[in-house]
Amino acid sequence: MAEDIRTRFKTSQEYKEMKEERDPFRKRIFFLGVLTSKLKESGVNTILVGGEAIDLYTAGNFSTSDIDLVVDNKSITEKLLNKFGFGKQGNGLWFNSDLNIVVQVID
C-alpha cells in the first residue's frame, strides 16, 4: 500500500517539477508547500523553525541544509515522509536522495 502511494507520488507532476528545479531553495520551498498541505489535510499542525525559517524569511539569502519542522503528530508526519520516498537516517532526520532534501521532524 505505501509502495503504491510512493510510486504515485514519484510519478506525479509535483514530483517531476521538484526534481527539475535546480535552485535548492526553491525546491525545498516547493516541497515544504506540498508536505505541509498534505499534513494539514491529515489534521497535523506544523511550524517551520531553524535555518529554513530564516532562509524563507530572507528569501533565500541564508543557506541551510535541512528543513526543521515542529509537528503535533510525529507518527503521521513520518509515515507521509516515507510515502514521499524519504528514508529515516536517525535523530529525527529524513532524507530523499532523489530530491536531495533533508527534513528533521521535531515533536
List pLDDT tens digits, range 12-63.
888 888 889 999 889 999 999 999 999 999 999 999 999 888 888 888 788 7
Q: What is the pTM of this model?
A: 0.85
Residue 104 has pLDDT above 70, yes or no: yes
Residue 6 has pLDDT above 90, yes or no: no
C-alpha cell at 58: 530572507
- Count the residues in the chain: 107
CB 81 within 8 A of CB 74: no
CB 71 within 8 A of CB 46: yes
Residue 2 has pLDDT above 60, yes or no: no
63: DSSP letter: -
